[in-house]
A and B are shown apart, each in its own frame.
Chain A
């Protein structure tokens, strides 16, 4: 069995959870970690937070809160859930920050922490909506209005609501790939490493996820033509 298969199997057994501060099985040299620590814009704050400086950690929260909250909203499709998830992500980061060894940039770890936290929550929400409490078709997905130009704001907001609804309908394994690639701007390789799957799988899920998303959005696109 290849290393990749072993890793996937191990992660599968743990219900999709992987260690908060472990991006991949790659063994980074001390020099590589040191180099990354130098180029990381969060390095000073992380160092201070590792020594117990709560003010430094608060500054890290302020820096990354929009990123974390946006990603949680996109993955969970619900602002209340996203707010709770974002708070828990920061709490987990605070608890584990002493174990952070610069195997990646701090912002990458934050992304990974959000994904790991949302994976089970998102699946549970999808399961709940599908089988227990589906969103009625006429109910608006509670996503707030974006800060765009006033003339375009009305149409743009409606579009975003349609997108949020379509993302919410997407099976979680496709949704996370579409979000990580499209919103986070991560590469296929980075997503594959994060999820513990092959790059080919990421490409296939991205293609399938986009196709499903397009199917959901087509009626809206056609109605606005």
Chain B
């Protein structure tokens, strides 16, 4: 028996082969039940496609078409011309998505570089709402240790008129959390022994 002729069955059904090929296939089919079955199934498939029923559009179709035509305007045409073809729209959408991701990554990385929170937000006027005369308060993160060089006092405000909170002797270590001009903000929320307030910077030196 010759090779199966399944690949030629489609043109055979359409009468698309020359006389010799047609005769060869018929000879093969007469002796090959497998190809006969293939031919029957293919024939059924082709008939099914040819009998695909006509579809009537739903009621109101003409009305909807006419409405779309009535609503049509030059700017809709321009919009469709620019954005409707997927060959234009899809690359644009892809570009927009990539740009959005790049923007998010850029913002996140710049945020990280600046230590989580932009420093400008941490710089608040030390006396802004207290005395209004002092400069900006620079937060030290992490806090630094200073040592008192001369007897001095801790005041509740970074001014000479501030209320005295505690007295410090020379060689006393102090934990400085911020610098406000000529004053050091000292204290530790977790250590009640550390005095809370402001010390003159001139009376101390960094460790």
Q: Does B41 contact A (CB under 8 A)?
A: yes
A207 touches B57 (CB 8 A): no
A66 touches B10 (CB 8 A): no
Q: How many B residues have CB within 8 A of the partner chain?
A: 33
List residues of A (59-76) whose CB comes within 8 Å of B's CBs.
61-62, 65-66, 69-70, 73-74
A66 touches B85 (CB 8 A): no
Q: Specify which of A69, A70, A86 is in contact with B52 (CB 8 Å cutoff).
A: A70
A144 touches B55 (CB 8 A): yes
Q: How far is the CB of B65 from chain A (nearest CB, A)?
A: 5
B193: which A residues are within 8 A, CB to CB? none
A211: which B residues are within 8 A, CB to CB? 6, 10, 42
Task: Indicate whether A159 sits within 8 Å of B48 (C-beta atoms), given known contacts A61-B65, A207-B11, A211-B6.
Answer: yes
22 residue pairs from A and B, CB less than 8 Å apart: A14-B87, A15-B86, A15-B87, A17-B87, A54-B66, A54-B69, A61-B65, A66-B54, A69-B57, A70-B54, A83-B57, A86-B57, A87-B65, A87-B68, A90-B69, A91-B65, A94-B69, A144-B55, A182-B52, A207-B11, A210-B42, A221-B41
Secondary structure of the B contact surface, majority rule: helix
Which residue from chain A places its CB closest to the CB of B61 in the assembled complex?
Answer: A65
Instruction: Mark B residues whose CB is within 8 Å of A.
Output: 6-7, 10-11, 16, 38, 41-42, 44-46, 48-50, 52-58, 61-62, 64-66, 68-69, 72, 77, 85-87
CA distance A58 to B70 in the complex (A): 12
Q: Does A147 contact B (CB under 8 A)?
A: yes
B86 touches A120 (CB 8 A): yes
Beyond A17-B85, A86-B61, 18 extra complex contacts between A and B, CB < 8 Å:
A61-B65, A65-B62, A66-B54, A70-B54, A87-B65, A91-B68, A120-B87, A146-B53, A146-B54, A147-B53, A159-B48, A160-B48, A160-B53, A163-B48, A179-B52, A182-B52, A211-B42, A217-B44
B50 touches A182 (CB 8 A): yes
Secondary structure of the A contact surface, majority rule: helix
A214 touches B41 (CB 8 A): yes
List residues of A (189-225) whose CB comes within 8 Å of B's CBs.
203, 206-207, 210-211, 213-214, 217-218, 221
B45 touches A213 (CB 8 A): yes
B56 touches A69 (CB 8 A): yes
The 5 closest A-B pairs by CB, nearest first: A146-B53, A182-B49, A15-B87, A207-B10, A69-B57
Q: How many A residues have CB within 8 A of the partner chain?
A: 47
B54: which A residues are within 8 A, CB to CB? 66, 70, 146-147
Q: Specify which of A14, A15, A69, A210 is in contact with B10 (CB 8 Å cutoff).
A: A210
Instruction: Mark A residues whose CB is within 8 Å of B.
Output: 14-15, 17, 54, 57-58, 61-62, 65-66, 69-70, 73-74, 79, 82-83, 86-87, 90-91, 94-95, 120, 124, 143-144, 146-148, 159-160, 163, 178-179, 182-183, 203, 206-207, 210-211, 213-214, 217-218, 221
